[in-house]
Structure 1
Amino acid sequence: MERIKIQMLGGFILKTHEQTIDLVALLGKQTAAFLACLCLNHGTLVTKERLIELFWEDSKNPLNAMKFTVHRLRKYLEELPVAGADGWIVTQRGGYSFVCSDLELDIDELNKPLDPENLDGDQAEALAKLYPGEFLPGLDQSWIYTYREQYWQLYLQRVQAAALSLAEHHHEEQAETLLLKALQHDLYQDQLNYLYLKILLDQKKYARAIQHYEKISDSFYKEFGMEFQGKSQSLVYFVKADNEDQELTPLDYLSQLEGISEPSAFYCERPVFAKLVQSKRLEARRSAEPIVLLITHLKVLDAELSAQDCGDLMNRIIRSGLRANDVYTRFSKTQFGILMTVREKSDTALVMDRLTRRFYKKIASSRCRLHYDYEILNEKAPAAQHS
């Protein structure tokens, strides 16, 4: 019997020996997302309660909506030129399941064990092709974001392990190629950039390392109006610096950086944050640099979106998008406080523009709006409001 391949990375595509079918274009977003949920759990019952929670939590008649979606999906599958497709959706007591004995999902490859010690060039090339793009692009149900991040992290872990192994076995060029292909998906991923620079520096290719960093840094500044920061920045700054007063070499400095995690803003509970704000108000009188208190608010407009999921996404964006010496707290599901020092007052807008772009890249502004207020603690003027 013909193998049925379904691609969920870089698209939602059904592949047979003769055809390639875009399932989102065929089914529409809602029905395609429903099918994707069943595919992820293929061979396993997905209860009606779970499906209602994911798709129709705010519906007045969720059971009817579910039955209509299943009926519509089966009708589309019956028309597919694929043997047995009409029987893929099976009704079971309490829910539905996707049953296809000859199914292959591309995401299953990311869950298979990787033996980096025995990796060759062909396997490294195959690994690079495993991730043609993010999980289910174009589908924006809140439950999909968790899987999207999960598979991206799985891919990152495999790429980093493979690149390190290739470099240790003196296949540096293959390691560099693998990392550059992974960076095509996220140009500013600090750990990938750091590992790429590390491999170049191990070979004493200092000029190439600096050239790569400056290219990334310039692109980042043009997009976000801020300097690219992280372990890779620290490493390149050291290489570029005049180190006459230090005995460390760039390779020595690499070993010092190994224990440093990716920079992230410092989280604290609300009472601690309140005390820090009070302390900063006193400090602001003596500080020449503007000290800013930012309050961000999320307003969920789409009934299908969970306020908790939107807030969790914003939490991750704030944590990874600010500097290590910035402080933040979470007041509620959708409200956050940020305390930071900036060089110029205008930098506040640049910071929020960067965070806002990242948020709207994941969730459209038509579905959830991000607003913010801020106060310059060095000034007595009232807080500014923005959206």
Structure 2
Amino acid sequence: MPNKIHITMFGQFSIAYRDKKLCENEYRGSKMMLLLQYLISQRGREITQNELIDLLWSDSKNPANALKTLVHRTRAVLDDMIPDGGRLIAGSHSSYTFIESNECVIDSSLFKEYINKAEDESLSRTRRISMYKKAISLYNSGYLAVTAGETWVQPINVYFHALYNSAVDKCAQLLYPMGKFSEIITLCERATMLDQSDEKMHANLIRAFVAMGEYERAAKQYNYIRTYLMEQYGAAPGAHLTELYELTVKPRNDVQNNLDAVIGDLSGDDSKERKGVFYCQYEIFKYIFRLYKRESMRLESKLSICLVSAVDNSGNELEDIKLLEKAMDKISFSISNSLRMRDVYTRYSRSQYLLLLLEADESSFNGIEERIMTRFRRSKTMDSVNVNFNFKEI
């Protein structure tokens, strides 16, 4: 399309016509580029003079005249690279708008067009995959990535990134029954480079690795996202991702008739089993809690929980992440050496552990706290860390 005006909104903003190109990196921080980006982003809508002044100037003595001069200069630059290019900016004085003529090819518009076609379920699977791939190939490091810090860009960026993630996920779902596991991995690994926290991408990768028999890579993928979510957000992976890991990463494809083998699989390596209180991931903890709660109701036995939090002197989460992790390791060690073998605990958030205490009630809470804190306070490097205990009998 040699006579088309190619406008790139994903990644680095640019306008290209034949062998001429207006690039953001050549005019970094210029008001002309910001004006073009805003008008193109809001194309089809008349932008008032006051709206543009608020966007571009905060301290100009004569902003209306400055805007008029800027629009004139921008039209002149467009005229130099595109025949009658200045016509793309319509209006004068009171309002302006960008005219998306037939010659314009805007990547963000194409992106949505391809996705709309891909979501037409009347098309063949192959055709839908082709449309999704075309859309995905256009998306490059976010909408107006260089200007992403601007307040007005952020909601648009979020919108397009959500569309991109959805397109990758839906494309992966279409590829899976066809056995195109390598393609799924390529698509989803690129998506995780742009957004590490999207659990759907990691779930797709785990499924693809398992389907290819690469269980070690699947396990590494799960451990990576679990660690990342805990470090960045103080949260564990969602139930869907955890259940996927539990059900698929360890292959159980054959009919098993040897109960000794089953028991061995359940028990693991007893020599490596930690003595004392049992530690598990939060999703497993929830199942254990429900089981113990049912048992305590049936037997009318005592059951309590406790939140153990690492905080600063003001009762807030520690800002020093390295100190927080050291404190959490020390608290974990203190818990594991202070409670009984039938008790259970888990990492509840970045700064909290959750304890499940059997045969414990209000009369034993002080003793439990004292045992844990006695071990914790043996480390003098933890003097600036406070540990809060919040007990509740079930």
Contact 2:307/2:353 (<8 A) preserved? no
Cα separation, 1, equivalents of 2:58 and 2:82: 33
Please say if 1:151 is aligned against 2:160: yes
Q: Which amino acid aligns with 2:38?
A: C
SS state at 1:91 partner: strand
Q: Decide whether aligned partners of structure 1 residues 295 and 58 sit closer, same or farther in structure 2, where only a CA change above 3 A counts.
A: farther
With the length of structure 2 as denominator, give the TM-score of the two structures: 0.56
1:115 is matched with which residue?
A: 118
Q: CA RMSD in A?
A: 4.5
SS of aligned partner of 1:20: strand
Q: Give the superposition deviation at 1:195.
A: 2.3
Supply the AA of the counterpart residue of 2:352.
T
User: CA contact under 8 A between 2:111 and 2:135: conserved in structure 1?
Assistant: no
Could you tell me which runs of 5 or more consecutive residues in structure 2 were left unpaired when the two chains were aligned.
253-261, 267-282, 284-303, 319-346, 355-383, 390-394
Equivalent in the alignment of 2:388: 378
Written as runs of structure 1 = structure 2, the 5 A alignment for 1:265-344 is: 288-290=308-310, 293-294=315-316, 341=352
Residue 99 of structure 1 aligns with an amino acid whose one-letter code is I
Aligned to 1:198: 207
State yes or no: 1:128 paired with 2:128: no
More displaced stretch, 66-75 vs 235-244: 235-244
1:4 to partner: Cα distance? 0.4
Structure 1 partner of 2:274: none
Alignment of 1:1-387 (within 5 A): 2-26=3-27, 28-56=29-57, 61-78=62-79, 80-92=80-92, 94-101=94-101, 102-112=103-113, 113-115=116-118, 118-120=124-126, 122-139=130-147, 140-201=149-210, 205-214=214-223, 220=228, 229-230=237-238, 231-232=240-241, 235-236=244-245, 288-290=308-310, 293-294=315-316, 341=352, 376=386, 378=388
Separation of aligned partners in 1, 2:166 and 2:185:
16
SS at the partner of 1:150? helix
**Bigger Rg over Cα:** 2
Where 2:22 maps in the other structure, the secondary structure is strand
Deviation of the 1:76 alpha carbon: 2.8
The percentage of counterpart residues that share the same residue type is 21
Aligned length: 276
* Residues 12 and 242 of structure 1: CA distance in aligned 2, closer, same or farther (over 3 Å): closer
Contact kept, 8 Å, 1:291 with 1:342, in 2: the verdict is no
Shift of 1:72: 3.4
Partner in structure 2 of residue 348 of structure 1? none
**Cα offset, 1:151, TM superposition:** 0.7
Offset from partner CA, 1:13-64 (integer Å, 9 cap, x none): 1122323331352374432121111112334322223324444467665434
CA distance in 1, matches of 2:221, 2:54: 46
Which has a greater percent of helix?
Answer: 2
After TM superposition, the structure 1 stretch with the greater mean CA deviation from structure 2, 84-93 or 226-235, is 226-235
Structure 2 CA distance for aligned equivalents of residues 375 and 71 of structure 1: 61
Query: What are structure 1's unaligned runs of at least 5 residues?
Result: 249-259, 261-282, 297-323, 327-338, 344-373, 380-387
